Structure 1
Amino acid sequence: MSGAASSAAAPAAAAPPETPPPLFPSLPDDVAVNIIARVPSSHDPTLALVSRSFRSLLSSPLLSSARRLLRRNQPSLYLVLRHPSSPSSSSSSASSPASHLWYTLHSSRRLVPIAPIPSPSIGSAFAVVGSRIYVLGGSVNDVASPRVWVLDCRFHRWEPGPSMRVGREFAAAGVVGEKLYVMGGCTLDTWSRAAHWAEVLDPGAGSWAAVPSESLEVREKWMHASAVVDGRIYAMADRSGVVYDVDKEVWESVEDELDMGWRGRACVIDGVLYCYDYLGKIRGFDVKAGVWKELKGVESGLPKFLCGATMTNLGGNLVVVWEGKGGGKEMEVWCAEIAVKKDEHGELVGCICWSDLVLKVSNGSSIVNCLAVALSSWSD
């Protein structure tokens, strides 16, 4: 009797661990991982729907390592919005409400929110270096700030960057040869501000250095736009602008034709600077030819007027984001991706790859900027 009881009390043998199903039934898992690693990470939400094995792989370091070895550059779109409930200014405290909302575009063609900047400001300049977005200065409590915040787009993590020598708001910025240049946006009421009207940051060294700019007439003006073409940084003020040739370390004036036609945000694709003009047209300035040309082939696929339009170069395609009228208390955010090229006659021709509603937000919101980032999983 006691033997039977003793036998009944004995613990049951542990079941053998369940072998996870293969990623692809007909392929070894190492081959399957190599295939999945070639899919851009922006499609991860869709891949997660395939199976439990896929979801497990997407959260494992194995896939990250495979993507790192493949050295995949994956362009991703980021959008910054101003929300109507946001204050016009805020303190530098991390607990202050965000004045800007940040989003990234997923493969579903919908913008999804990411962590807001810890210390928001108004009138910041933006620049992309590798897989990081730099947010430079801006007004905090109506005072121009020298502070820099950096968004690591691989992990959507914010970290403080090296502060500029002077505070700036509405400055111009550009990246050449992995170095970040910023200019303008500061009053020249002290020697330090005058000497550091233009600065350059080497992210590897983590320090700013002054760029000589004493003879420029635009130094008393705010900057409203900037772009980089063939190693030359264009910084536009109201009715004037300057060009800084990084290799030659020479400043020049922006030619009149470009100055008269450049309005609002712009981006550069294959040596052509594209912007959206006040007549409701997307135009491109061929820097070498020195002429503006209308982008043809997109008239029927886009609204006649794109409110609040901004644009960026996403992997060689032109991406345009604009504000649309939603129903009731909502504003719509629309986005279109356009393949652009010069035809045999030198005319600019576009083909709309897709155009869609990507977000609905409260009325009174506005687009601040959009940026394209090549996500390099192996980058430091």
Structure 2
Amino acid sequence: MTTTTTTTTSGGQPPRPSAEPQLIPDLPDDVSINCLSRIPRYYYPKLSLVSRSWRSAITSSALFTTRSLLHTTQTSLYLNLRINYSFHWYTLLSNCHSRKIPQKPIFPLPRIPFQPVGPAFAVLGPKIYVIGGSINEIPLNLMWVYDCRFNRWEEGPRMKVGREFAAAGVVDGKIYVLGGCVVDSWARSVNWAEVFDPDTGLWAPVPSPIEVREKWMHASAVVEGRVYAMADRGGVVYDVGLGKWGNVSKRLDLGWRGRAAVVRGVLYCYDYLGKIRGYDVEEDVWKELRGVGKGLPRFLCGATMVNFDGRLCVVWEGKGSGKEVEIMCADIEVWKDGDGMLSGRILWSDVILTVPNGAAIVHCMASEF
């Protein structure tokens, strides 16, 4: 016969389970979070290996909130390149020209589990969303999410319909996706535009006029709470706050070329001469960006832009050797002069990556966390 002994406290009650261990011994967890938030972000993948509690802390919203309050967040550039008919991802650390960073300024990321053509892209906090696209010319309703904090991909909630070459934009913490689907059924018509709420993990349809539902999008941007989506002919704009649709101005339509970026309310892209211009939404006019002509080439094709910490970051394909292409990057401070014109100053420009000949830039994004 086996006797089981139960240990009790002096009051006859079983002992309480021990509390969760502190992140840092003898320090309250909120103080530990404060300490972790001051450590440069590129150390986080290694710090997450310390323990399960450290991994949980580093992925928590509390750490991101604390970093924001302390102004210790960092922005990194993320590139999607097409190389030899497959897609590759890279990241460029912030202040990549600084010698204080203890590793190479650019390094490859894990490849996405599938290789879609023509997906839409969106960035929310520390996550990059790759939305839709097609495989073997079949539009997908899939969404993959890259967590910049831990260098990993995960599948996200699926859209109502499959899309390729859709437009996407982030407004008030939600992702709006427009077009990219053929309206040949009631379901596709109702879901021509959808919105994703990351807090609930749900997609919902956005009511849209019938006359805009057959447009396929080649460019998009968000300006002051309005999502602009450009089709081959014309484009549409959706005011999220008012819930209203409209057509883009003819002047914007004629001047928008390539992939654009919005910095301080001005939409920047390059014109047919390869010069950078900015579109002032309020004035409905394009203006050449002065002061950068001597330091940049003519962007006749292949350039893409992104808002990088309130500056204009331009990435393009430069000339390498016969078998290689140089991926170039320029960090440009931009502002509006007293006369209302636009000026810029190149803070830094250099080669960031060398890839095989024939490679092309698909998209670039910036994530801050």
TM-score range (shorter-chain normalised) is 0.7 to 0.9
Q: Decide which of 287, 290, 313 is 1:293's aligned counterpart.
A: 287
Residue range with higher mean Cα deviation, 358-367 or 107-116: 107-116
Q: Decide which of 311, 320, 327 is 2:314's aligned counterpart.
A: 320
Q: How many residues align?
A: 320
Residue aligning to 2:107: 112
* 1:74 aligned partner, one-letter code: Q
* 2:206 aligned partner, one-letter code: V
Task: Tell me the TM-score normalized by structure 2.
Answer: 0.81
Pair 1:238-2:225 in alignment: no
Larger RCO, structure (CA 8 Å, separation 6 or more): 1
* 2:74 aligned partner, one-letter code: Q
Distance in 2 (CA, whole Å) between partners of 1:156 and 1:36 is: 18
User: Displacement, 1:34?
Assistant: 7.8
Residue aligning to 2:360: 366
Would you say the 8 A contact 1:185–1:222 is kept in 2? yes
Residue aligning to 2:12: none
Residue range with higher mean Cα deviation, 154-163 or 65-74: 65-74
- Percent sequence identity over aligned pairs: 57
Q: 1:305 to 1:227 in 2, by over 3 A?
A: closer
Q: 1:169 to 1:102 in 2, by over 3 A?
A: same
Would you say the 8 A contact 2:335–2:344 is kept in 1? yes
What 5-or-longer segments of structure 2 have no aligned partner?
1-30, 98-104
Distance in 2 (CA, whole Å) between partners of 1:57 and 1:244 is: 42
User: Displacement, 1:305?
Assistant: 3.5
Residue aligning to 2:166: 171
* 1:361 aligned partner, one-letter code: V
Would you say the 8 A contact 1:195–1:214 is kept in 2? no
Residue aligning to 1:160: 155
Residue aligning to 1:24: none
Please list the CA deviations of residues 286-325 of structure 1 after superposition, one character each: whole Å capped at 9, or x if unmatched: 1111110000110111123464000000110100000011
Residue aligning to 1:282: 276
Q: Which has the larger radius of gyration?
A: 1
Q: Decide which of 101, 104, 116 is 2:88's aligned counterpart.
A: 101
Pair 1:151-2:146 in alignment: yes
Distance in 2 (CA, whole Å) between partners of 1:192 and 1:318 is: 39
* 2:91 aligned partner, one-letter code: T
Structure 2 counterparts to residues 200-349 of structure 1, below 5 A: 200-216=195-211, 218-305=212-299, 307-349=301-343
Please list the CA deviations of residues 216-241 of structure 1 after superposition, one character each: whole Å capped at 9, or x if unmatched: 3x422310000001111001001200
* 1:101 aligned partner, one-letter code: H
What 5-or-longer segments of structure 1 have no aligned partner?
1-30, 46-54, 87-98, 376-380
User: Displacement, 1:137?
Assistant: 0.5
Would you say the 8 A contact 1:306–1:322 is kept in 2? no
Q: 1:108 to 1:255 in 2, by over 3 A?
A: closer
User: Displacement, 1:57?
Assistant: 7.4
Q: 1:291 to 1:57 in 2, by over 3 A?
A: same
User: Displacement, 1:40?
Assistant: 4.3
Q: Decide which of 332, 347, 364 is 1:353's aligned counterpart.
A: 347
Would you say the 8 A contact 1:307–1:324 is kept in 2? no
Distance in 1 (CA, whole Å) between partners of 2:162 and 2:151 is: 26
Distance in 2 (CA, whole Å) between partners of 1:214 and 1:261 is: 25
SS at match of 1:295: strand
Would you say the 8 A contact 1:234–1:254 is kept in 2? yes
Distance in 2 (CA, whole Å) between partners of 1:289 and 1:365 is: 38
Residue aligning to 2:28: none
Would you say the 8 A contact 1:82–1:367 is kept in 2? yes
Q: Decide which of 115, 120, 133 is 1:125's aligned counterpart.
A: 120
Would you say the 8 A contact 2:194–2:204 is kept in 1? yes
* 2:177 aligned partner, one-letter code: V
Residue aligning to 2:7: none
Distance in 1 (CA, whole Å) between partners of 2:46 and 2:250 is: 57
Distance in 2 (CA, whole Å) between partners of 1:346 and 1:354 is: 25
User: Displacement, 1:188?
Assistant: 0.8
User: Displacement, 1:148?
Assistant: 0.4
Superposed CA RMSD in Å reads 2.5
